[in-house]
Structure 1
Amino acid sequence: MSIQVSNINKRFGDFVALNNVSLEFPTGELTALLGPSGCGKTTLLRIIAGLEGQDSGQVLLEGEDASSRHVRERQVGFVFQHYALFKHMTVFENIAFGLRVKPRAQRPSESVIREKVMRLLELVQLDWLADRYPPQLSGGQRQRIALARALAVEPRVLLLDEPFGALDAKVRKELRRWLRRLHDELHVTSIFVTHDQEEALEVADQIVLMNKGNVEQIGVPQQVYDNPASPFVYGFLGNVNLFHGRVHQGVLDSAGMRFDAPNYAETEDAQGIGYVRPHDLEIDRYSAGAEGIVVKLKRAHAIGPLAQLELQRSDDADAGLIEAVISSERFQQLNLKDGETLLVRPRRLHVFVDQPLER
């Protein structure tokens, strides 16, 4: 099913939850609504589901305005963060519930219900738990049962609100891989809300990055990570170092180094900031006359394949620490010690003019 939202506005008192949001969710794809708490992502999901009403704008399902349709008429499956399973019902009964409460004319026979529930339990790889009760299950198992229950009524749209937020990191990682495989098998148009950038980048076909009720950027994961549209997106999708300087005719001058800023070829003498990911920094031992920003190594943390370095700029003691990530092999090759003087050179840098990073 194709889903569109057009010019959606929503306020709670003086708080603007959604500010004229228009989006299209591709049929059969998994879209992540990503952003910090309070950015409007859950409100938008609830409006699409029919659990919340918008102040203005439209929700279009297959091109038809569904804004006045009751939640039961939207053929939407909803999975909440905290499972919302019925504790007094077995796993089987929880999944069968949505089928058994259908109007008599649409209700399948008990034999069809049994066959469908067992097929769904096999799909989520928990058919051996049919007779258990929710309190007897782990968090990851309960969430898979909640997903099976949502799928039982054959929704045309699957909506997931922070589905793995209540789980520990290891289980969360396992479940998001499992969700991706499940989606590749079913191809149900799906939208899931998360504030976890790693989760969105790993699972989604498309990411919608939101901030303060507005859409900051839309794109495939690689696109939004490699080409952030704003300082907010850069800062939200992982750690970033800031290099302040002056932008003039397509060049950023910062700490005595010059960097191309082709998007600002017409800019004259403006304040600018270069944004650099920790893994886009080259590290070398200091040598007089060599190009680079002079720093001191404050701390190194090398476990596994990567070494994380905290560096203090020599030219600006008040500047925050620079974070760099290099391979453990390179770290061992340099044989670095705390307090050493080093040179830093950005390999890749993205410039924004007069837009401070939001945190």
Structure 2
Amino acid sequence: MSIQVQNIHKAFGDFIALDNLTLDFPSGELVALLGPSGCGKTTLLRVIAGLEQADSGRVLLDGDDASDTHVRERQVGFVFQHYALFRHMTVFDNVAFGLRMKPRGIRPSESEIKRKVHELLQLVQLDWLADRFPAQLSGGQRQRIALARALAVEPRVLLLDEPFGALDAKVRKELRRWLRRLHDELHITSIFVTHDQEEALEVADRVVLMNHGRVEQIGSPAEVYQQPATPFVYGFLGAANRFEGRSSAGGIAIGKATLTAEQHAQHGEVIAFVRPHELDIVRQEFGHGIPARVSRVLTLGALTRVELEGRDDVAGQHFDVELPASHPLAGSLIAGEPVRLQPRSVRVFANPETAGAA
């Protein structure tokens, strides 16, 4: 089922959660709503589900206006961050709950419910836990049961609000892969909310970057990461070193240093971004590059992360560089050592603050 939201506006008092938002979610896609806390992504999910009423605008499900349709009639499956399982019910009864609550005329028989629940538990690979209670399950198991319960009513749309946010990193990674495989098997139109960039890029067909109730960029994971449309998108998607400077035909002036960039605004105040793995460290106190001083050297498996502080006219700024653990500098840099930073790739945007002032 396709979903469209048209000119959705939602405010809570003076706080604008959704600012005249328009989006299309094609049928069968798995879409991530990604952004910082308070950007409006959960509010948008709740408006689509019918759990929240927009102040203005429309929600279309397969082209039909569902704005005033009750949540029960939207055929939406909703999975919350904290599972929302009934603690007094077994796993089997939790999954069967939605089926047993259907109106008598369309309610399946108990034998049909039993068949369907076991089928769903097999789908989420937890049929062997049917007689357990939620308190006897791990967090990852509880979340998979919550998903099975949402699927039991055969939703046309699956909405997931930070589904793995309460889990530890290892379990989150396992469930991300599992959710992607499950979606490829079921092809239900799915929207999930996350503030985890890696999660969105790894799982989704498309990513919607949100900020302050507005959409910053929409695209495939590769598009939003490799071709960020705004400084916010670049800075939010992965680690980034940020430099403020002035652009001219000769390059980007950061203090007394000049960076070269393949593409940049010819004149004016700019923000330049460099990923940590695209920044080289040169062992020299003077010369070409951004002046910095080594603060800490951390070995993280196959990577070495070097934390640095700016010197001279970039004093007070902090930078990160990632080197392979096998790099000659990885084991020889020492705290306090003066160095220069030379970027191999620079992404430049007009500074929105100074542009607005102009």
Normalising to structure 2: TM-score of the pair?
0.93
Structure 2 residues without counterparts, runs of 5 or longer: none
For the structure 1 residues 297 and 333, does the alpha-carbon distance in structure 2 shift closer, same or farther, using more than 3 Å as the test? closer
Quote the offset at 1:332 in angstroms.
5.3
DSSP-derived class of the 1:37 partner: coil
Structure 1 residues without counterparts, runs of 5 or longer: none
DSSP-derived class of the 2:341 partner: strand
| CA deviation string 1:112-158 (max 9, x = no partner) | 11111101101111101101111111111111101000001111100
Using the alignment, how far apart are the partners of 1:234 and 1:64 within structure 2? 36
Quote the offset at 1:335 in angstroms.
2.7
Please name the residue that 1:238 is paired with.
238
Using the alignment, how far apart are the partners of 2:329 and 2:280 within structure 1? 15
1:343 aligns with 2:340: yes
| CA deviation string 1:54-76 (max 9, x = no partner) | 11111011111111111111110
Quote the offset at 1:170 in angstroms.
1.9
DSSP-derived class of the 1:114 partner: helix
Using the alignment, how far apart are the partners of 2:335 and 2:232 within structure 1? 32
2:282 to 281, 284, 293: 284
Please name the residue that 2:298 is paired with.
301
For 1:46-61, list aligned pairs within 5 A. 46-61=46-61
Please name the residue that 1:25 is paired with.
25
Quote the offset at 1:263 in angstroms.
4.7
DSSP-derived class of the 1:105 partner: helix
Using the alignment, how far apart are the partners of 1:282 and 1:261 within structure 2? 17
Please name the residue that 1:44 is paired with.
44
DSSP-derived class of the 1:216 partner: strand
For 1:196-345, list aligned pairs within 5 A. 196-249=196-249, 251-254=251-254, 255-260=256-261, 262-265=263-266, 268=267, 270-286=268-284, 291-316=288-313, 318-331=315-328, 335-345=332-342
Using the alignment, how far apart are the partners of 1:278 and 1:288 within structure 2? 22
Quote the offset at 1:247 in angstroms.
1.2
Q: Which moved more, 1:245-254 or 1:346-355?
A: 245-254
Please name the residue that 1:177 is paired with.
177
DSSP-derived class of the 2:39 partner: coil
DSSP-derived class of the 1:330 partner: coil
1:271 maps to amino acid? E
Kept after mapping to 1: 8 A contact 2:310/2:319? yes
Q: Which moved more, 1:72-81 or 1:224-233?
A: 224-233
Kept after mapping to 2: 8 A contact 1:31/1:205? yes
1:278 maps to amino acid? P
Q: Which moved more, 1:249-258 or 1:57-66?
A: 249-258
Segments of 4+ moved more than 4 angstroms: 331-334
DSSP-derived class of the 1:150 partner: helix
1:256 maps to amino acid? A
Quote the offset at 1:301 in angstroms.
0.6
Q: Which moved more, 1:214-223 or 1:313-322?
A: 313-322
Quote the offset at 1:101 in angstroms.
1.3
For the structure 1 residues 231 and 356, does the alpha-carbon distance in structure 2 shift closer, same or farther, using more than 3 Å as the test? farther
Kept after mapping to 2: 8 A contact 1:250/1:264? no
DSSP-derived class of the 1:264 partner: coil
Kept after mapping to 2: 8 A contact 1:273/1:353? yes
DSSP-derived class of the 1:116 partner: helix
For the structure 1 residues 333 and 307, does the alpha-carbon distance in structure 2 shift closer, same or farther, using more than 3 Å as the test? closer
Figure out how many residues of one structure are paired with residues of the other and give that number.
353
Using the alignment, how far apart are the partners of 1:58 and 1:263 within structure 2? 39
For the structure 1 residues 199 and 334, does the alpha-carbon distance in structure 2 shift closer, same or farther, using more than 3 Å as the test? same
- Percent identity reads 64
Using the alignment, how far apart are the partners of 1:333 and 1:20 within structure 2? 49
Please name the residue that 1:118 is paired with.
118
Q: What RMSD in Å do the two structures reach over aligned CA positions?
A: 1.9
Kept after mapping to 2: 8 A contact 1:81/1:164? yes
Kept after mapping to 1: 8 A contact 2:324/2:330? no
Using the alignment, how far apart are the partners of 1:219 and 1:353 within structure 2? 21
| CA deviation string 1:219-270 (max 9, x = no partner) | 11121112221121122222221222211248322242242363524xx3x2
Using the alignment, how far apart are the partners of 1:25 and 1:351 within structure 2? 31
Kept after mapping to 2: 8 A contact 1:250/1:261? no
Kept after mapping to 2: 8 A contact 1:81/1:165? yes
Kept after mapping to 2: 8 A contact 1:252/1:261? no
Quote the offset at 1:175 in angstroms.
1.3
Quote the offset at 1:184 in angstroms.
1.2
Normalising to structure 1: TM-score of the pair?
0.93
